[in-house]
Structure 1
Amino acid sequence: MTDLTPGKKFLRALLIGFLLSIPIFCVWLMIGDRQSQSTEARASIAQGWGGPQVIAGPELSIPFKQTVTGTEQVNGQPVSHTTTIERRLVVAPSGIDAATVLQPKHRRRSIYDVVIYRAETKGRAIFALPADLASLGVQPETLELARAELRFGVSDARGLSGNPQVRVGNAVLPLGPGGGSSLVGSGFYAPIDLTKVDPARLAVDFRFVLRGNGSLAFAPRAGDTAWKVTSTWSNPSFGGEFLPDDHHIAKTGFDAIYRIGNLALGRSLLFIEGADKTSAPERATPSAYATASETNGPQSASIQLVEPVDLYSQVNRATKYGFLFVGFTFLAYLLFDVIGGVRVATVEYLLAGAGLVLFFVLLLAFAEVIGFTPAYLVAAAAITGLNTAYSAAVLKSWRRAAVIGAILGALYAILYVLLSLEAYALLIGSLLLLAALAGTMYVTRRLDWAGARDEA
Structure 2
Amino acid sequence: MNTEQTPFEKFGNWLKQSVGLKLTTITILMLLLLIPTSMIKSIISERKNLNRSVLNEVSSKWANEQQINGPVLSIPLLYEYRDKENEVIQQTKHLYILPDALKINGDIEPKTLKRGIYEVVVYRSQLNVSGTFDLNAKIDKSGLKEIQFDKAFVSIGISDLRGIEDQIVLNWGKEKLQVQAGSRLPEMMRSGVSIDLPNLEEEYTKSVPFSFALNLQGSQNLSFIPVGGTTEVQLKSPWSSPSFNGNFIPKQREVSDEGFTAKWKALLLNRNYPQTWVDRNMGQRMQESSFGVDLIMPLDDYQKATRSAKYAVMTISLIFLVFFLVEILNGKKIHPFQYTLVGLALCLFYVLLISISEHSNFNMAYLISAGVSSLLISLYSTSVFKSLKFTGILTSTILGIYTFLFVTLQLADYALLMGSIGLTIILAITMYFTRNINWYKLQVSAE
* TM-score above 0.5: yes
Structure 2 counterpart of 1:34, from 38, 47, 61:
47
2:89 paired residue number: 83
Structure 2 counterpart of 1:337, from 317, 327, 345:
327
Structure 1 counterpart of 2:285, from 258, 283, 296:
296
Q: Does 1:185 align with 2:190?
A: yes
Instruction: Report if the CA contact (8 A) 1:183-1:219 is conserved.
Output: no
CA apart distance, 1:24: 0.9
Instruction: Report if the CA contact (8 A) 2:101-2:132 is conserved.
Output: yes
In the superposition, relative to structure 1, how do residues 125 and 430 fare at CA in structure 2: closer, same or farther (>3 Å)? closer
Work out the CA distance in 1 between the residues paired with 2:443 and 2:255: 68
1:369 paired residue number: 359
Instruction: Report if the CA contact (8 A) 1:226-1:258 is conserved.
Output: yes
**SS of alignment partner, residue 126 of structure 1:** strand
Of 91-100 and 124-133, deviating more is: 124-133
CA apart distance, 1:125: 2.3
- The RMSD of aligned alpha carbons is 2.4
Deviations along 1:352-400, one digit per CA (max 9) or x if unpaired, are: 1100011011111111221321111110011111111111111123443
Work out the CA distance in 2 between the residues paired with 1:64 and 1:443: 85
CA apart distance, 1:445: 4.2
Q: Does 1:6 align with 2:19?
A: yes
Work out the CA distance in 1 between the residues paired with 2:350 and 2:402: 11
Unaligned runs of 5+ in 1: 72-78, 276-290
Unaligned runs of 5+ in 2: 1-11
Q: Does 1:248 align with 2:254?
A: yes
1:378 paired residue number: 368
User: Normalization by structure 2: what TM-score?
Assistant: 0.88
Instruction: Report if the CA contact (8 A) 1:5-1:451 is conserved.
Output: no
Instruction: Report if the CA contact (8 A) 2:19-2:442 is conserved.
Output: no
2:119 paired residue number: 113
Deviations along 1:406-443, one digit per CA (max 9) or x if unpaired, are: 11111100111122234444444344444444444444
Work out the CA distance in 1 between the residues paired with 2:283 and 2:320: 64
In the superposition, relative to structure 1, how do residues 300 and 412 fare at CA in structure 2: closer, same or farther (>3 Å)? same
Instruction: Report if the CA contact (8 A) 2:17-2:443 is conserved.
Output: no
Instruction: Report if the CA contact (8 A) 2:135-2:203 is conserved.
Output: no
Q: Does 1:207 align with 2:213?
A: yes
CA apart distance, 1:215: 1.2
CA apart distance, 1:7: 3.1
CA apart distance, 1:248: 1.5
Structure 2 counterpart of 1:155, from 154, 159, 162:
159
CA apart distance, 1:145: 2.3
Instruction: Report if the CA contact (8 A) 2:189-2:283 is conserved.
Output: no
In the superposition, relative to structure 1, how do residues 44 and 131 fare at CA in structure 2: closer, same or farther (>3 Å)? closer
User: Normalization by structure 1: what TM-score?
Assistant: 0.87
2:224 paired residue number: 218
Instruction: Report if the CA contact (8 A) 1:6-1:451 is conserved.
Output: no
Deviations along 1:206-247, one digit per CA (max 9) or x if unpaired, are: 111222112111101122222111111112222211222222
Structure 2 counterpart of 1:173, from 177, 185, 195:
177
CA apart distance, 1:65: 2.2
How many equivalent pairs are there?
428
Work out the CA distance in 1 between the residues paired with 2:141 and 2:285: 21
Work out the CA distance in 1 between the residues paired with 2:73 and 2:365: 55
Q: Which amino acid aligns with 2:235?
A: V
Q: Which amino acid aligns with 2:384?
A: V
Of 330-339 and 439-448, deviating more is: 439-448
Work out the CA distance in 2 between the residues paired with 1:197 and 1:205: 19
Q: Which amino acid aligns with 1:296?
A: R
